[in-house]
A and B are shown apart, each in its own frame.
Chain A
C-alpha cells in the first residue's frame, strides 16, 4: 500500500517541437511532443515533463498549444517548466492544460514567487526545479558543500542548495526536482550524496535528475531517497525504455505501477 516510485521522462520543447529528436521506429514524427508523450504513456511513464526552452514569445505560444493537445490526449499528469517568472505565467500554463508547473531561476532570484504561486493555486501545482552542484574548489564554500546554480547550470549563485530547498519547502512547494549539474549528461549515475542530503532536509516528494545511464542508476537514486526519477536523454535517444527502469525498480523491491 505504498505509493509507487514514479518514472518521469522529460522532453525539451522549443517552439512546440521536441529538440534532440532521434530514431523511434514506431513513431511517425519524433519532433512532435504529443506523439512522444503518447509513446511514453504507452510505455508506462507515470508522469510527463515538458521543459520549454523557447527563446521567443512566439515559441512559447506554440508550446502552449502543444500543452493543450497533450492534456487532451494523454491521461497522466503533465508538468511544464522553463521560463516561468510569475503567478500569471503559472495561470496561463494551468489553463492550457498543465497539471503542475516547474519554477527554477525566477524563484532563486525572487523567493517570494514561491508563496505567491502556492497561495493562489495550492502548493501541489508547484515543482521547484533546483540545478545544484558541488562548490568548485576556489569558490566560496557553502555550509553543505552544494550550491544552487541558475540559467541551466551556467551561473553559480553561492547560495547553499540544502538551505534553499528547506526554505522553499517551508514557503510551499509541492515537490522538488533536484538536478545535479555535475552528473547531468555524464551517464555515470546520479549524485547520490546530494539526493540523500536533500531527502534529509525536506519532507516533500523528491524527484532525482541528472546522470542516468543505466537502469541500476535509477535504483540507486531511489535507495538514496528519491520518490521519483526523471531523465531526458536516456529515454529520448532510446538507450533505455521506461519499462526497463520499472523492471529494475521492481526487482529491487520498490513498488511500481
Chain B
C-alpha cells in the first residue's frame, strides 16, 4: 500500500524540518514544495507558519499560495494550517497596531492575548468537541503553543477546540470539512502531536 502523499508548503517559513519529519513518522510520503501541480495533487496540504501574521501573508502571496489553497478547498481536498498557518485562515489580524488581511476562510479577528505573561509559550490543555476527528483518543493531553495572538471566536458551523491563556479563551483548533488548523504545533507536541497528525492523515 502506498503512503499518503502530503505536501508541506514551502514559502520560506522558519523551521519546517520537524513538520516534514513528524508527518513522515506519522506515515505520510512528504514533499516540501510550493510547486502548483504538486500542491494540487497531494492528498493533503500542510501550511506551516511562524513569525508575524502580515509577514506570513506576504510570503504566502509571493508563492501564489492563496489561490492554491482556495482551489484545493473548492475541490474538497484537505488542508491543515499550523500556528500562523492557522491564524491566516481567519479574516484579519491586528498585530503591532497594524491590520492585515487573512485568507478569510473563517470570519473573525486574530488579536493579542490578554495575559500576565505573553507570548503563551509551552504546553497547554485543550477542550476538543466530542465529535472531533483530530483529537480522537487524545483526551487530557497537552500540546505545545507559542504565540502572542489568537482568534477568540469561530463560527458555529465549524468544530472548534478551545484553550485558554490568562483571561483569554481562544481557538486552539478548527475542523471544518476539508480545512483543519491548529494554533499549537503538533510537530513539536511529542506523542500527542504525533497521534493528532496520524488522525489527520487518517481523514485523507
Contacts and interface: CB of A to CB of B under 8 A. Distances in A.
Q: How large is the interface on B (under 10, 10 to 19, 20 to 34, 35 or more residues)?
A: 35 or more
B51 A122 contact: yes
A73 to B, nearest CB: 8
Interface residues of A, number: 35
Contact of A175 (B17, B50, B121, B187): B121
Contacts of B142: 4, 257
Contacts of B123: 3-4, 6, 46, 257
Contacts of B2: none
Nearest to B189: A75
A2 B164 CA distance: 7
Interface string B144-169: 11111000000000000001110000
B22 interface: yes
B121 A1 contact: no
B158 to A, nearest CB: 21
Nearest to A206: B117
Interface of B: 14-15, 17-18, 21-22, 25, 50-52, 55, 116-125, 142, 144-148, 163-165, 185, 187-190, 193-194
A81 B189 CA distance: 22
Interface string A1-37: 1111110000000000000000000000000000000
Interface string A46-84: 100000000000000000000010011101110000000
10 contacts: A4-B123, A6-B123, A75-B194, A76-B189, A122-B51, A123-B148, A124-B121, A174-B119, A205-B122, A227-B121
A188 interface: no
Label chain A's interface by main secondary structure: loop
Label chain B's interface by main secondary structure: mixed
A137 B193 CA distance: 51
Interface stretch (A93-101, A108-116, A147-155, A235-243): A93-101
Given A99-B15, A124-B146, A75 B188 contact: yes
A204 B14 contact: no
Contacts of A41: 190
Given A77-B188, A205-B121, 10 more contacts: A1-B164, A2-B164, A3-B123, A6-B123, A72-B18, A75-B25, A99-B188, A205-B122, A206-B117, A227-B121
A6 B123 CA distance: 8
